[in-house]
Amino acid sequence: MPTVKIRFPAGRYHATLWGTHVNEGQIEWPPSPWRLLRALLCCGYSTQHWYKIPDVARTLFENLSQCLPSYRLPQTSVAHSRHYMPVAEFKKPSEAKQLNAFEFSATNQQSADIGNYFVENTTLVYDTWANIDDDDLIVHWDCSLSVEETLLLGRLFDCLGYLGRSESWIEAQLVDDSVAENLQFNAFPSMRGSQPGRNWEQVTTIAAIAPAAYTAWRTETISRLLSEFPLPEGNRKPSAKLLKERNRIISPYPADLLECLQKDTVWWKQHRWSQPPGSQKVVYWRRSDSLQVGVPLTPLRPKAQSVTTMLLAITSPSGNKSALPSIKRTLPQADLLHRALVGRGANGRRINCPELTGRDEDGNPLRTGHQHAHILPVDLDNDGYLDHIIIHSPMGLGDDAQHAIRTIRRTWTKCGIGEMQLALAGAGELDSLRDVPERLASQIDRLLGQKTGAKTWVSITPFVPSRFLKLKGQNSLEGQVATELHTRGFSPAEIPQIRVLPWESDELAMRHFVRVRQRKTAPPMDVGYAIKIQFATPQKGPICLGYGSHFGLGLFGAVSDGST
């Protein structure tokens, strides 16, 4: 029983109710089953490179069309804009408005004659849309699909970029059946004699006829119409005029439901259909407050307790660990997640979340050091693939940041097969990371050091200088490391010993790390170093230094005192 979750990143849904003019300001809410099927069909041609509908897609659409979906609608309000659109026509000379030179200079109308000219006609156009709260639209079909059909439906929804008009951006994905079991749908088909009670209203929408019912109706209709133009008996050949007339009768009736879904408005109007062939009008019940006129009543989200650290687990759809991103892609994986978190936190509006963006409400960089979020993809099971992402912000993660992190569900990787799935594994203070399962604890101790700290720290990811290197002074390699340690709160009296390690054994793999952020300022030098830092007193991690240190580069791990 497929269930899909649809999110509107821009917070808008543009779609005109069937049978109404766009200037009537009527919104199709919920989206009609017919619209959903046509959107998926178009997505198959545009993203799956169909030349004809494959067999698995045909059975998928036939199964979906045999039942009417139920919906869980988010809080929504109605909004509109209006403007006067030019129609490339001009008023008659007798209606031309006479303006003096001063009035003419204040207008945007063009004329060769100031005293007598034509004013362009315009028409008032309304653009109505649904303002959707920060919640998901959920659609559920009560039908069974095969494994191949379910996989295809998931791919189609993943690739579907908008629903309704092109301004209605969406992010859609299939969810487990257990999600639908715990939902109460607030929009569902109206059955004969059903009445859900007060505070409910009916809305007419359009859906597909069951494929078998359409085929039977088409066969009966064509047979009845063709009976007036029978074929000659015996061996006599039908005339060209008779065949043309019979083809004219058959042509307005598509062969099957899938062909009906592919006919556009121009086609069925040319053939004098009042609505698309293969469609039917159905009545749905929905809550009477489903479309509010005014600002939607947003349910208050419980205030989250401030934390400094959150841990996300990464899994592949197949569960195969080798499908996870390599540790060499630490920087781009952190960058991808950061962009997704900022987009989710903004939700189509200007974001004010300094712990994620590193900027204040005016867009200026924070002047509080490195207190905003560090996004650190890590390999906790030490197999060479990234399996967790640590998000640590010394200034604390506020309510908006936590909500974005808790609700993020996927990320991507270069040349990967499908998306990577994300799940929240824990949240709390930095030391709460030590509560991970025992098989992962050694790597956490390496990132944080022992509870009492560690004196020796060695690069886990390459250190990339944030300034051009000089032989001496603050811009030397040792000087840049020491300066950044100071800016991150380490005692200036603590002068560490800094040594560059040769590319040997474990450090050799760091030569192949991605070191430049895409579409961002590149480092002065595209070069990485493996570094060992020796403090005089034990220090606690995580320690991140240099270019890209908020995205996983320049990460150091603790070495036990007995190690060299």
pLDDT reported for residue 236: 83
Cα 494 from Cα 482, distance rounded (Å): 9
Say if residue 498 is in the same domain as residue 389: no
Q: At residue 316, what are phi and psi to the nearest 5 degrees?
A: -95, 155
Residue 123, domain member (yes or no): no
Say if residue 369 is in the same domain as residue 493: no
Residue 254, domain member (yes or no): yes
Say if residue 57 is in the same domain as residue 138: yes
Take residue 183 and report the two structure tokens written for it.
């939902």
**Nearest CA-CA partner of 207 in 190, 194, 193:** 190
What's the Rg (C-alpha) of the chain? 32
Residue 432, domain member (yes or no): yes
Residue 89, domain member (yes or no): no
**pTM of the full structure:** 0.55
Say if residue 441 is in the same domain as residue 456: no
pLDDT reported for residue 227: 85
**Nearest CA-CA partner of 355 in 308, 303, 311:** 308
What does the CA dihedral 64, 66, 72, 75 come to, rounded to 10 degrees? 90
Say if residue 557 is in the same domain as residue 437: no
Give one DSSP letter per residue of 105-158, joined into a string: HTS----S-SSS-PPEEEEEEEEEEEEE-SS-EEEE--S---HHHHHHHHHHHH
How is residue 528 annotated by DSSP? -
Cα 186 from Cα 194, distance rounded (Å): 14
Take residue 198 and report the two structure tokens written for it.
């007060």
pLDDT reported for residue 53: 87
Cα 495 from Cα 535, distance rounded (Å): 7
Residue 92, domain member (yes or no): no
pLDDT reported for residue 472: 84
**Nearest CA-CA partner of 434 in 558, 562, 563:** 558
Region for residue 459 given its phi and psi (left: phi exceeds 0; alpha: psi -120 to 50; beta: otherwise): beta
Say if residue 407 is in the same domain as residue 469: no
Last residue within a domain, chosen from 394, 423, 446: 446
Residue 13, domain member (yes or no): yes
Say if residue 356 is in the same domain as residue 468: no
Say if residue 384 is in the same domain as residue 395: yes
Say if residue 378 is in the same domain as residue 457: no
Residue 264, domain member (yes or no): yes
Last residue within a domain, chosen from 394, 417, 446: 446
How many distinct structural domains can be found in the chain? 3
Last residue within a domain, chosen from 285, 301, 328: 285
pLDDT reported for residue 391: 93
Q: Which residue has the tokens 């269930």?
A: 3
Residue 234, domain member (yes or no): no
The three state secondary structure string of 452-512 is CCEEEEEECCCECCCCCCCCCCCCCHHHHHHHHHHHCCCCCCCCCEEEECCCCHHHHHHHH
pLDDT reported for residue 96: 45
> What is the domain extent for residue 377?
309-446
- 326 touches 112 (CB < 8 A): no
Say if residue 332 is in the same domain as residue 375: yes
Residue 46 C-alpha from the chain's centroid? 18
Q: How many degrees, rounded to 5, is the angle at CA 31 between CA 57 and CA 405?
A: 85
pLDDT in tens, the chain (564 residues): 888 888 888 888 888 888 888 777 788 888 999 899 999 999 888 888 888 888 888 999 889 988 899 898 888 888 888 888 777 666 655 444 444 444 444 444 444 444 445 567 788 877 888 888 778 888 998 888 888 888 888 889 888 888 888 888 888 888 877 666 777 888 888 876 677 777 888 888 999 999 899 889 989 998 888 888 888 887 888 888 888 888 888 888 888 888 888 888 888 888 888 888 888 898 888 888 888 776 555 566 677 788 999 999 998 877 788 888 899 999 999 999 998 888 887 776 777 888 888 888 887 888 877 888 999 999 998 888 999 999 999 988 888 888 889 888 888 887 666 688 899 998 999 888 888 888 888 899 999 988 888 889 999 999 999 889 888 888 888 888 888 888 888 776 567 888 888 877 777 778 889 989 887 888 888 888 999 998 888 888 899 999 999 999 999 999 876 544
Cα 8 from Cα 28, distance rounded (Å): 15
Strand-pair partners of 531: 500
Take residue 424 and report the two structure tokens written for it.
């929240």
Say if residue 358 is in the same domain as residue 386: yes
Say if residue 262 is in the same domain as residue 381: no
pLDDT reported for residue 135: 81
